[in-house]
Chain A
Amino acid sequence: MLDESTLISNTLNGDIQSFALLVQAYQGQLYNFIYKMTKSKEDTEDILQDVFVKVYNNLYKYNNNYRFSTWIYSITLNTIKSSLKKKKLRPSGCNIDDFIEEIPSFDDSPELLIEVKEHYKEIIEIIDSLKEKQKTAFILRYIRDFSYKEIGKIMGISQEAAKMKVHRAKSILAKKIAGMRKEGDFE
C-alpha cells in the first residue's frame, strides 16, 4: 500500500481510489474509537461516515507538518461531540464475550485471571463512568499509543493537561478496583 502522504496528495489530485485506501486504513480504528466513546453501534457508522466526509472535504487544509492520524482523530472527536450535542445517542452496550479472548494471561496467577473475568464488566463500567475528558484522554492513550503531546493536540489542550487527565483516569481505576476488593467483590 502507498504511504499516507502519497494517498493524501493523490486524493488532492482527484484520485478517489487513494482516498478509499485512506478510509480503509482508518475505518477500523476510528470505528473502535467512536464506539468506545459512544457505546452506540447504531450511531457509530453514521458518525464515522460524517467524519470521513469532513476529512475529504477539508483535506486541502491538512498541514503535513503534523501527523495525519492526529488530525483525523481530532476531526473524529469533534464530530462525536457535536453528535452528542445534537441528539441523544442510542447506547447498545457491549458484549463482554467479544473481549474475553483479549484478557492477558497471568501464568503465575491463574486465580487472578478468573477473578478478572468475573469483573470485566465492572472495569468497562469504570472506564465509561470517567468524566468525558478523562475518558477521552485515557482511550486515546491506549487506542493508538498516542503521546501526551498528540493527545493534547487532538483534544485541544496542553500536553501537561493531557497527561494529568490520563493520570487521573488511572487513579480512579486504581481507587475503584481497590474499593471493590474492600466491598468483597475481589478476593
Chain B
Amino acid sequence: MKCRYMDYLINCELDSLPNEKSEKINKHISTCMDCRNYLGALMISKKYIAKEPEMDKYFYMRVINAIDPDRYKKSKLTFKILSSLERLKPAFKASLGTLAVFVAVALLITGGIFDNLGNWIAKSSNNRSNTGETTNLTFLRTDGQNIVTGTGEIFHIRGVTLTNNFWGNWVNGESEKLQSQGMDPIIRPLVQDAWVLTDDDFERIKDLGCNTVLYDINYQLFAEDNPNREENLKKLKEHIRRFSSMDIYTAVMLMAPPGLDSINDAYEKYKHGSERIKSVFEDDTYYEQWVEMWKYLAEELKDFKGVAGYGLINQPRAPSESEGGIGIFRERLNNVCREIRKIDKNHIIFVPEYNSREANPGESYWNEKTNSYVIDNGEQGIIWERGLVKVDSSNVVYLFHFFEPYNFVNDGVGDFDAESLEAQVRKRYEWAKNVGRAPLLTEYGISRVNSVDKRVQWLETVHDIFDKYGISASYFQYKNAVGAFINVKTGFNALYGEYVSWDSEIGLNPFYFVNEHVATSAKENHFDEALKEYYLKGKNLKKISILDNQPILETLQNFWK
C-alpha cells in the first residue's frame, strides 16, 4: 500500500521547506522505506542532471570559427529595425492591418533607401579591430626600460621559444644535390610541419605557466611566391588566437630570412666572402623580399592584441666595410622598422644585436679551418663579435642571445661564474639605458650535455640576473624532434623531445632498428639510451617525453611565477 506521505513529498519543493516540516519528513523517512527510497532517488536524479560532463574547454573557438564575424557589422541598422519589429510582434497580432503597414515599412527600409547609410556604417565599423581573438590581453608597448601592458602595468616576458622546425627537413633528391655542392642540405619548409604544434602541445604549453611564446618562422612560409602563403597565414592567425585565448602572447620571430641565415651559415662561414650566400644586408633582392614579408605580416597581424611583437631577424651578421659595414646594417634595420610602422603602430619590434661581423682587410679573425688567428686578406672572415645598434623607430625592444659561456653551455666544457655572466648582461642593460631607455629581451638555454644539477644551477643564476635588471627572457626551446640522427645530448636543449620519425627508424613488438645505419647513428647520438629510458614503455612507444628535464621545467616555472 502506498504511503500517505508520498503524494505530499512528490508535490512539495523539498529545498524550500521550513525547518519544522523538514524535521517531520526526516522523522518519517527513518521509518518509511518507500519514502526514503524515493527521496534518495530524487536527490541522485538531481545530482545526475546537474553534473556537467567533461567537454572541450575550447569548444567556443569552434563556434567562433563557424559564425560570420561580420554579420552585425555589415547591416547594423537593418538588425536594429528587425529587432524593434520582433519586440512589437505581440502588438502586430492585434492588428493585421498594422502588421501589413509595418512589413511594408520594414521592406522599404531594409531593402531600399537606407542601403547607402547601412553600407557607410558597415565600412566605418570594418575599420575596427576584428581578429576573432577571445582574450584579456592588451597591446604591449615600451615605456622607458620596461615593457608595459595596455593598462600601463610592467610586463616581463617570461617565455618559451617554439622553434617550429623552421629550419626544415632533409628532402630526398634535392638535399643530396645541395650537399654535394657544399651547401646546406636542409630545405626550409613551405608549410609548417603538422607535428610542431598539435592540440596536445597547446594544452602542454598552457600548463607550463609562461606568459609568452616566441613563435619562430622562416621567410619561405610567407614568401610572395609561396602558393601556400594564405594557408600559412591562416594557420599562424589560428595559433595566435589559441594562445591569446590562454592569455599567452605570441612574438613572431623571423629565424630564417631570405639568403644567409643561422642554419646555412654552418656551411657558408667557411667560404670566401665572394662565394658565400649573401645576407639581407648585402643583397638587394633578399632585402626587398625581407621587407615585403614584414609588410605583409604587419598588415595582417596589426590588430591582434595577442601578438607581442615582431622579431626582425635572427642572429644577423653585419657586412664588411666594403659592403657597407655597420652603417648598412643599421640603415636596413631602420628601413624595415619604418616600413612596419607605416602599417602597424601598435606592436613592439624586437631588434637583435649582430651576432658576428665580416672582417675587413687587415683585421685578424679566427679561422675555423686552420684553427688559428689569421689576417683577413679580403676573404671576409667571420669575427664572432656582438653588438647592439640603435634604430630610430619607437616601441622597440632590443634582443640578445645568452648562451654564455659558449663552451660550457653548448659543449659542457669548463664552468661559469655568476659575476662574469652579470657583467655581460649589465653591459647591454647600460647600453639600452643610454640609447634612450629601451627594454631588453634575451633568448637563452643550456644543452643537455651538462648534468641536470649544473643546468639548474646555471638557469637559477641567469634568472636572478634577468630579474635584477628587469630583462624579459625566453627559454630556448619548448620542443624538438628526437631521432637516431639527432644528438640527444650535445645538440639538444629542448624541454620536450618528440620522436617524429619513429616509423621510419624502428619496428616494435619486438623492438628493432630498421637497419644497421640507423642503429649505428642512434648509438653515436646517444639516442638508443634515451629511447630505452624515455620512449619505450613495455610494448608501447611514447612519442613525446620530457626526458630528464622535469627539474629544468620546475626551475623555469619558479622564474615564470
Q: Which residues of A74-117 are within 8 A (CB) of B?
A: 94, 98-99, 102-104, 106, 108-109, 112, 115-116
Q: Which residues of A7-27 are within 8 A (CB) of B?
A: 11-14, 16-17, 19-21, 23-24, 27
The answer to whether A45 touches B40 (Cβ under 8 A) is no
A173 to chain B, nearest CB (A): 6
The answer to whether B37 touches A57 (Cβ under 8 A) is no
Q: When chains A and B are docked, how far (Å) is the Cα of A41 from the Cα of B54?
A: 10
Q: Which residues of B30-72 are within 8 A (CB) of A?
A: 30, 33-34, 36-38, 40-53, 55-56, 59-64, 66-67, 69-72
The answer to whether B11 touches A167 (Cβ under 8 A) is yes
Q: Is the C-beta of B390 less than 8 angstroms from some C-beta in chain A?
A: no
The answer to whether B41 touches A99 (Cβ under 8 A) is no
Q: When chains A and B are docked, how far (Å) is the Cα of A143 from the Cα of B42?
A: 13
The answer to whether B86 touches A49 (Cβ under 8 A) is no
The answer to whether B125 touches A127 (Cβ under 8 A) is no
Which residues of A have CB within 8 Å of B67? Answer: 16, 19, 52-53, 56-57
A141 to chain B, nearest CB (A): 8
The answer to whether residues A187 and B59 also contact, given A60-B79, A127-B45, A178-B38 and a CB cut-off of 8 A, is: no
Which residues of A have CB within 8 Å of B83? Answer: 12, 60-61
A107 to chain B, nearest CB (A): 12
User: Which of B59, B61, B62, B79 has the most CB atoms of chain A within a 10 A radius of its CB?
Assistant: B59
Q: When chains A and B are docked, how far (Å) is the Cα of A102 from the Cα of B33?
A: 22
The answer to whether residues A28 and B42 also contact, given A53-B67, A61-B83, A174-B10 and a CB cut-off of 8 A, is: no
The answer to whether A187 touches B48 (Cβ under 8 A) is no
Q: When chains A and B are docked, how far (Å) is the Cα of A52 from the Cα of B68?
A: 12
The answer to whether A16 touches B130 (Cβ under 8 A) is yes
Q: Is the C-beta of B404 less than 8 angstroms from some C-beta in chain A?
A: no
Which residues of B have CB within 8 Å of A174? Answer: 6, 9-10, 34, 38, 41
The answer to whether A32 touches B52 (Cβ under 8 A) is yes
Q: Is the C-beta of B76 less than 8 angstroms from some C-beta in chain A?
A: yes
Q: Which residues of B488-519 are within 8 A (CB) of A?
A: none
Which residues of B have CB within 8 Å of A170? Answer: 10, 42
B62 to chain A, nearest CB (A): 6
The answer to whether B63 touches A52 (Cβ under 8 A) is yes
The answer to whether B10 touches A167 (Cβ under 8 A) is yes
Which residues of B have CB within 8 Å of A181? Answer: 33-34, 37
What is the interface size of chain B, counting residues whose CB is below 8 A from a CB of the partner? 54
User: Which of B40, B69, B71 has the most CB atoms of chain A within a 10 A radius of its CB?
Assistant: B40
Which residues of B have CB within 8 Å of A154? Answer: none
Q: When chains A and B are docked, how far (Å) is the Cα of A65 from the Cα of B87?
A: 9
* A143 and chain B: residue at smallest CB distance: B49
The answer to whether B45 touches A123 (Cβ under 8 A) is yes
Q: When chains A and B are docked, how far (Å) is the Cα of A106 from the Cα of B37?
A: 12
Which residues of B have CB within 8 Å of A142? Answer: 45-46, 49-50
Per-residue CB contact flags for chain B residues 176-199 toward chain A (1 = under 8 Å, else 0) read: 000000000000000000000000
* B84 and chain A: residue at smallest CB distance: A60
The answer to whether A23 touches B64 (Cβ under 8 A) is yes
Interface SS of A by simple majority: helix
Per-residue CB contact flags for chain A residues 50-64 toward chain B (1 = under 8 Å, else 0) read: 001100110111010
The answer to whether residues A57 and B71 also contact, given A23-B63, A49-B63 and a CB cut-off of 8 A, is: yes
Q: When chains A and B are docked, how far (Å) is the Cα of A21 from the Cα of B80?
A: 22
**Quick one: which of A13, A23, A32, A53 contacts B51, CB cutoff 8 A?**
A32
The answer to whether B10 touches A27 (Cβ under 8 A) is no
Which residues of B have CB within 8 Å of A99? Answer: 47-48, 51
The answer to whether B64 touches A19 (Cβ under 8 A) is yes
The answer to whether A36 touches B72 (Cβ under 8 A) is no
Q: Is the C-beta of A48 less than 8 angstroms from some C-beta in chain B?
A: yes
Which residues of B have CB within 8 Å of A49? Answer: 59, 62-63, 66
**Quick one: which of B34, B52, B69 contacts A29, CB cutoff 8 A?**
B52
The answer to whether A20 touches B64 (Cβ under 8 A) is yes
Q: When chains A and B are docked, how far (Å) is the Cα of A19 from the Cα of B63?
A: 10
Which residues of B have CB within 8 Å of A94? Answer: 53
A69 to chain B, nearest CB (A): 15
* A64 and chain B: residue at smallest CB distance: B87
Q: Is the C-beta of A124 less than 8 angstroms from some C-beta in chain B?
A: yes
The answer to whether B36 touches A116 (Cβ under 8 A) is no
The answer to whether A35 touches B134 (Cβ under 8 A) is no
The answer to whether B6 touches A173 (Cβ under 8 A) is no
Q: Is the C-beta of B128 less than 8 angstroms from some C-beta in chain A?
A: yes
A13 to chain B, nearest CB (A): 7
* A176 and chain B: residue at smallest CB distance: B41
Which residues of A have CB within 8 Å of B11? Answer: 167
Q: Is the C-beta of B133 less than 8 angstroms from some C-beta in chain A?
A: yes
A159 to chain B, nearest CB (A): 15
Q: Is the C-beta of A186 less than 8 angstroms from some C-beta in chain B?
A: yes
The answer to whether A17 touches B45 (Cβ under 8 A) is no
Q: When chains A and B are docked, how far (Å) is the Cα of A12 from the Cα of B61?
A: 19
Q: Is the C-beta of A139 less than 8 angstroms from some C-beta in chain B?
A: yes
The answer to whether A112 touches B42 (Cβ under 8 A) is no
A142 to chain B, nearest CB (A): 4
* A116 and chain B: residue at smallest CB distance: B40
Q: Which residues of A contact B (CB under 8 A)?
A: 11-14, 16-17, 19-21, 23-24, 27-29, 31-32, 35-36, 41, 45, 48-49, 52-53, 56-57, 59-61, 63, 65, 94, 98-99, 102-104, 106, 108-109, 112, 115-116, 119-120, 123-124, 126-127, 138-139, 142-143, 167, 170-171, 173-174, 177-178, 181, 186-187
**Top 8 A-B residue pairs of the complex, sorted by shortest distance between their CB atoms:** A20-B134, A14-B73, A102-B47, A23-B60, A60-B79, A174-B38, A52-B63, A32-B52
List 18 interface pairs A-B (beta carbons < 8 Å), by A numbering. Answer: A12-B79, A12-B83, A17-B135, A19-B67, A20-B60, A31-B52, A36-B49, A41-B53, A45-B55, A52-B63, A60-B80, A102-B51, A112-B36, A127-B48, A138-B45, A143-B49, A177-B41, A178-B38
Given A14-B128, A16-B130, A103-B47, list of 10 further CB < 8 A pairs?
A: A14-B125, A16-B64, A23-B59, A23-B64, A32-B52, A49-B66, A60-B86, A104-B40, A138-B49, A187-B33
